[in-house]
């Protein structure tokens, strides 16, 4: 009986951890919820140090492969994007 309770507690702790992750991710992503895939990829790019790419892609239901293909694009496109983001922030 004790083992079953411990397993249940471990499972609940894991579910809580995943739910907290999704909550934190969604707090940061409210701006892009109704945007294009490109917007989602840009969000991933900006948040990949805080959240794992795998988990972000899972939450937004996008392919990691598609994200990584997008991420390989020309550096000048990314530079232009970062410039655009800075203009929005300022």
Whether 27 has a pLDDT exceeding 90, the answer reads no
Q: What tokens does 14 get?
A: 């894991």
Whether 74 has a pLDDT exceeding 60, the answer reads no
Per residue in 42-68, pLDDT (tens digit) is: 889 988 998 899 988 988 889 999 999
Long-range contacts of 70-77 (CB under 8 A, 24+ apart): 70/38, 70/41, 71/41, 71/45
Domains of the chain: total: 1
Domain limits for position 19: 2-89
Which pLDDT band, with edges at 50, 70 and 90, does 35 fall under?
confident
Task: Return the exposure string of 8-21: e unless at least 16 CB atoms fall within 10 Å of the residue's CB, then b.
Answer: eeeeeeeeeeeeeb
Whether the CB-CB separation of 62 and 32 falls below 8 Å is answered with no
């Amino acid at each position: 009986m004790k083992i079953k309770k411990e397993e249940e507690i471990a499972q609940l702790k894991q579910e809580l951890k995943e739910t907290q992750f999704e909550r934190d991710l969604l707090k940061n992503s409210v701006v892009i919820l109704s945007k294009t895939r490109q917007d989602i990829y840009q969000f991933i790019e900006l948040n990949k140090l805080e959240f794992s790419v795998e988990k972000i892609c899972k939450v937004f239901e996008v392919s990691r492969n598609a994200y990584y293909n997008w991420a390989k694009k020309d550096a000048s496109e990314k530079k232009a994007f970062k410039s655009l983001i800075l203009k929005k922030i300022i």
